[in-house]
C-alpha cells in the first residue's frame, strides 16, 4: 500500500519497472528488453510480476529478481511475488524498433533477423556495423561479454562490436 491507503496501481508498477536498467546493457530497461511479461495486483495489494529469462541460464536473472523486488518495496509495495514463465520463450522479436535503436546508439548491433535465423561461426552472413552502418563485417566469436551477444569486427572502420543475437 502507498501512504494514502491505496494500492500501487498497475500503471505505476510498470513505470517503476521501466526504471530498472538491464545490468549488462544499461541503455535499455527490463521492460524494453521484454522480460517483464505481466503485472498482477490482487484485491489485497499483493503484486505478482511475471518474468521470462532472455536466455536459458541468463546470469542477470538473479539481479532482475532482486532489483524488481527492491524497487517495488522501496516504493510502497507490501507484498511482491515473482513468477518465472518459460513458455512461450523470450525472443528478440519482442524488441521494439526504439529498443533496437538504443542498442545501436550504444554500440551494440541489434538483431537484424527473426528469432528463427541463426548465424553460425562459419556463416557468410554479414551484420551491419553500429559504428559506420556498413556490412563489411565478420563474426569473430559466437559469444561476447554475455551469452546473448556475439563478437564481430568491421573490416571498413576496423572497430570490434557486439551483436545482440537473434533468439
Query: Domain boundaries in the chain?
Result: 10-84, 93-164
**Residue 1 has what pLDDT?**
44
Choose among 96, 98, 90, 33: nearest CA to 67. 33
pLDDT at 143 over 90: no
Q: What distance in Å separates the CA atoms of residue 126 and residue 135, rounded to the nearest whole number?
A: 6
- Tell me the three cell numbers of residue 81: 511475488
Q: What distance in Å separates the CA atoms of residue 113 and residue 2, rounded to the nearest whole number?
A: 44
- Tell me the three cell numbers of residue 97: 524498433
**Residue 24 has what pLDDT?**
87
**Residue 112 has what pLDDT?**
83
Q: What distance in Å separates the CA atoms of residue 141 and residue 100, rounded to the nearest whole number?
A: 21
CATH number of 10-84: 3.30.300.130
Let me know: does 130 contact 137? Beta carbons within 8 Å. no
pLDDT at 136 over 50: yes
**Cα dist. 66→26, 74, 82, 114, 129 in Å?**
16, 12, 10, 31, 34
Amino acid at each position: 500500500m502507498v501512504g494514502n491507503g491505496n494500492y500501487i496501481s498497475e500503471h505505476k508498477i510498470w513505470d517503476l519497472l521501466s526504471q530498472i536498467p538491464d545490468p549488462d546493457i544499461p541503455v535499455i530497461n527490463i521492460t524494453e528488453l521484454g522480460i517483464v511479461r505481466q503485472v498482477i495486483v490482487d484485491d489485497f495489494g499483493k503484486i505478482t510480476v511475471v518474468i521470462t529469462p532472455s536466455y536459458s541460464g541468463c546470469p542477470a536473472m538473479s539481479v532482475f529478481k532482486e532489483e524488481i523486488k527492491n524497487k517495488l518495496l522501496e516504493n510502497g509495495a507490501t507484498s511482491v511475488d515473482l513468477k518465472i514463465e518459460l513458455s512461450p520463450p523470450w525472443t528478440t522479436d519482442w524488441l521494439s524498433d526504439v529498443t533496437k535503436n538504443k542498442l545501436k546508439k550504444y554500440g551494440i548491433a541489434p538483431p537484424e533477423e527473426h528469432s528463427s535465423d541463426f548465424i553460425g561461426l562459419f556463416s557468410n552472413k554479414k551484420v551491419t556495423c553500429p559504428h559506420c552502418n556498413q556490412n563489411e563485417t565478420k563474426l569473430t566469436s559466437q559469444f561476447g561479454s554475455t551469452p546473448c551477444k556475439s563478437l564481430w569486427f568491421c573490416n571498413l572502420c576496423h572497430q570490434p562490436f557486439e551483436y545482440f543475437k537473434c533468439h
